[in-house]
């Protein structure tokens, strides 16, 4: 795992030179790299009505990330999971600029780090339902985290036309996020950098992340923005900035 510190350029370069995880990483992340180890993707353990959100933070410029891409790609079709691939930008200076990178996705990963008191972000990192970080290439640990963090009592989410409705529920104020992702397998030839010469398949690449309002425990309706081409939609109801996901749905 590659760690990135918000510090001086010298410290950043030092952090890029190794692939071991920082001891400051939260519970659920192991040191070093794994090559997609652990059991194959398990059958659904949750509910399609209350899917568990797994957010992969990766970069095409990081040599540690392709095994995690492969793991999350295998989860993309599970009915009890919303698998999302967020391309971060902080490794773009390693010789290859991620073709899907967006500073907003980097900022979202930092929100998780700040909320948990972690002083750095890292790739490849998976955040499970806004709560548990897992090293993205460790498939067995990811399966366990999905089962452990499943939510069955979140507010109902329904959609009609360009409107999405969130029903009554517990949890206080939360942000309603619209996430548009491309479900196709996108094979990206990498021309330079650490992964130069490889072609990396991506699935469920996030192409739009928009906050459409706040939910306060009472039924509410929100207007969806226009969707980019070739995307599907997920709705996330998330407590606080970098907090747990209270409910999610594919619509």
Q: How confident is the model at residue 235 (pLDDT cuts 50, 70, 90)?
A: very high
**Tokens in use for 43?**
């059958």
- The whole-number pLDDT of residue 138 equals 96
Please give the average per-residue pLDDT across 163-175, as a whole number.
Answer: 93
Separation of alpha carbons 167 and 200, rounded Å: 39
Does the pLDDT of residue 32 top 80, yes or no? no
- The whole-number pLDDT of residue 14 equals 30
- The whole-number pLDDT of residue 53 equals 98
Does the pLDDT of residue 28 top 90, yes or no? no
Angle CA 49–71–50, to nearest 5: 10
Q: Which ranges of 117-217 would DSSP assign to H, the alpha helix?
A: 139-148
Separation of alpha carbons 68 and 76, rounded Å: 13
Higher local confidence (pLDDT), 102 or 3: 102
Query: Among residues 113, 105, 108, 135, which one has the least CA distance to residue 123?
Result: 135
Does the pLDDT of residue 15 top 70, yes or no? no
Lowest mean pLDDT of 18-22, 47-51, 120-124, 190-194, name the range: 18-22
């Amino acid at each position: 795992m590659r760690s990135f510190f918000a510090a001086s350029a010298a410290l950043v370069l030092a952090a890029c030179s190794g692939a071991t995880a920082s001891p400051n990483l939260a519970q659920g992340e192991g040191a070093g790299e794994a090559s997609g180890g652990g059991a194959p993707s398990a059958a659904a353990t949750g509910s399609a009505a209350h899917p568990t959100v797994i957010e992969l933070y990766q970069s095409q410029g990081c040599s540690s990330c392709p095994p995690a891409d492969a793991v999350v790609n295998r989860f993309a079709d599970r009915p009890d999971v919303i698998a999302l691939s967020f391309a971060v930008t902080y490794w773009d200076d390693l010789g290859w600029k991620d073709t899907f990178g967006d500073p907003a996705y980097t900022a979202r990963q930092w929100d998780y780090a700040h909320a948990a008191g972690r002083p750095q972000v890292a790739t490849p990192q998976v955040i499970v339902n806004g709560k548990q970080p897992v090293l993205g290439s460790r498939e067995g640990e990811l399966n366990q985290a999905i089962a452990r963090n499943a939510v069955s009592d979140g507010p109902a989410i329904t959609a009609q036309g360009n409107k999405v409705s969130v029903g009554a529920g517990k949890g206080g104020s939360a942000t309603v996020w619209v996430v548009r992702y491309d479900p196709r397998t996108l094979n990206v030839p990498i021309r330079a950098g650490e992964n130069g010469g490889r072609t990396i398949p991506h699935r469920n690449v996030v192409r739009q992340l928009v906050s459409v309002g706040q939910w306060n425990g009472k039924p509410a309706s929100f207007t969806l923005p226009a969707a980019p081409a070739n995307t599907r939609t997920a709705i996330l109801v998330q407590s606080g900035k970098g907090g747990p996901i209270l409910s999610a749905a594919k619509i």
